[in-house]
Structure 1
Amino acid sequence: MTASDQPRPHSPGDAFVPKYRLPDWYLDHATPPADPAPVAWHSVDNPAIDFAARCRMCAAAEVVPVTIRSHQGLLVWMRGQSLDGPWCRRCGTSFIRKYSTRTLCLGWWNPLSLLVGAPAALVANAAAYRQLRRLPPPVPLPGHPQPDLGRPVLQRPPAYVALIPLACCIALIAALVSRI
């Protein structure tokens, strides 16, 4: 018997269309859905979840709206960055550490940045950090990863680059005071 001789359930020209009928025992005990259009458990765009009131990274529910700032003082001009939004404790702390380290490393290379820009960004980040520390530990939604916290700011080597312009500024002030 060859493959062409074997019986086929239906052929392309046949009018047979297979249909599945649920068994009676299932239909007798099935409960009708309460919602006419239920959202699938695996749905990415679940309309029941308001993502505007959740963490921007992990979609945790316990959030506080804060702005995380970074300041870069270049030789001639300055550049500031900020991240607005609701942040949970872990995600906000991670970005505050990253942006504060960047400010300590790159925020002092302009005279105006040394006096105004970098200290303002660091004070704003400290205030945001105090607000984030009051939150409970976050519970992210499945499929929304949380960033790595990393080391604290003062345990990161780039944070100590700020000592170079600070030492130069102190030496300059000491030289000016000694001449007077």
Structure 2
Amino acid sequence: MRFRAVASAVLVVAGAVVPCMAAGQAQADEPWCGASRLGLTVQPELGQPGGSQRTASVVLTNLSQESCVLQGFPGVDLATVGDNGRASLPRTSEQGQPVHLPPGGQAKSTLTYATGTSTPTEIIVTPPDSTTQLHAVWPAALGSIMVWPEGATHPGTFIGPLRG
């Protein structure tokens, strides 16, 4: 009798494990969206908050003919800003979820920035788990920004995780 109870529990556990592996396998078959598959645009978001805080969307578009997946934060640098001509933006503490992109699909990351006296000329974005960078001209509509020194406890300019 004791043996039957143990055998039943093993079958139930084994039955629960197999579907989980199958679902994970389906996701593993979808390729990662590397920089070579992606296009970059930057645009102001509608309904800006009041005061000196603004937001923009950093948009990565799947330019390939097959679906791919992204997760996490893009690395974002602003050129001609900061002490050495380039400022790397800190990330929020939010957690990113996988974003599945069909051909032409988009993932967006919110760039929050404080208005200031520096106007970047270029935004440089490194997609998650990539070393290849994408470049775009800083849109004039976004205006000037303030970049806080690295390690500041309350930076006014930062990047959020990618969302679908």
Scaled to the shorter chain, the TM-score interval is: under 0.3
Q: For CA contacts below 8 A with separation 6 or more, give which structure has more relative contact order.
A: 2
More strand by share: 2
Q: Provide the TM-score with structure 2 as the length reference.
A: 0.24
More helix by share: 1
Query: Which structure has the greater CA radius of gyration?
Result: 1
